[in-house]
C-alpha cells in the first residue's frame, strides 16, 4: 500500500479516476454526528484530508505515471510501502471503500470502554474523548509519524455493577 498526496477536496475524484484505470485506491471516510440548527445530523468527513491510499503490491513506473496523470494528484509521499502494521491500520480504516460508522461505548471511572463499532479494535489507542461532541480520538502511526484520527462515538449509560453484600448479588440502579 502506498500513499498519494492530492488536492484537498479532490480525494474521491482521484479514487474514481484510478478505479476507471483498474487501480484500487481508497480515501478513508468517517461518519460523525454534528449539531445543525439544534438537531443532530450525520455527516461524512475524510479521515486524512488530501491523502489517497493505493492498494497495489508494487509501484511500477507505468502505475506511477497513471496515478500522476489523474486530475488532482500532487505527488507520492514515499516510494516505499507502508510497514505491515501500518498497512493493517490503513486497510482497516479504508473499510472496503465505505465510511466508518459510529461506535458505541460507555465511560466508567474516567475511561472509555467501547462496546460496538470500529473503535472496539482501537480501544487501546484512544487518547481522548468528547462526550458532548460525540467523538473519540485515537492515535495511528503512518510512515513513522503519529496522526490523530477523530471518529464518531455515541455514549451509553454504564452497565450496572453488582453489589455483593452478605453473599447476595444485587443490581444498583
Q: Consecutive sets of 10 residues in the chain, 173 residues long: mean pLDDT of each?
A: 85 88 87 86 86 82 82 76 76 82 84 84 84 85 77 82 54 53
Give residue 37's pLDDT.
92
pTM for the model stands at 0.70
Give residue 126's pLDDT.
85
Q: Specify the 3-state DSSP secondary structure of 86.
A: helix
Give residue 95's pLDDT.
82
Q: Tell me the Ramachandran region of residue 96: left when phi exceeds 0, alpha when psi lies from -120 to 50, beta otherwise.
A: left
Give residue 163's pLDDT.
56
| Dihedral, CA of residue 26, residue 129, residue 84 and residue 27, to nearest 10 | 10
21: cell is: 484505470
Amino acid at each position: 500500500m502506498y500513499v498519494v498526496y492530492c488536492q484537498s477536496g479532490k480525494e474521491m475524484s482521484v479514487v474514481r479516476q484510478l478505479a476507471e484505470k483498474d487501480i484500487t485506491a481508497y480515501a478513508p471516510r468517517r461518519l460523525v454526528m454534528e449539531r445543525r440548527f439544534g438537531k443532530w445530523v450525520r455527516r461524512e468527513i475524510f479521515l486524512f484530508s488530501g491523502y489517497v491510499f493505493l492498494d497495489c503490491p508494487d509501484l511500477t513506473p507505468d502505475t506511477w505515471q497513471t496515478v500522476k496523470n489523474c486530475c488532482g494528484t500532487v505527488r507520492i509521499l514515499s516510494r516505499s510501502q507502508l510497514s505491515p502494521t501500518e498497512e493493517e491500520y490503513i486497510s482497516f480504516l479504508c473499510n472496503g471503500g465505505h465510511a466508518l460508522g459510529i461506535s458505541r461505548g460507555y465511560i466508567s471511572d474516567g475511561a472509555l470502554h467501547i462496546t460496538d463499532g470500529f473503535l472496539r479494535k482501537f480501544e487501546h489507542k484512544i487518547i481522548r474523548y468528547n462526550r458532548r461532541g460525540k467523538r473519540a480520538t485515537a492515535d495511528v502511526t503512518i510512515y513513522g509519524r503519529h496522526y490523530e484520527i477523530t471518529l464518531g462515538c455515541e455514549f451509553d449509560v454504564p452497565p450496572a455493577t453488582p453489589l455483593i453484600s452478605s453473599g447476595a448479588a444485587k443490581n444498583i440502579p
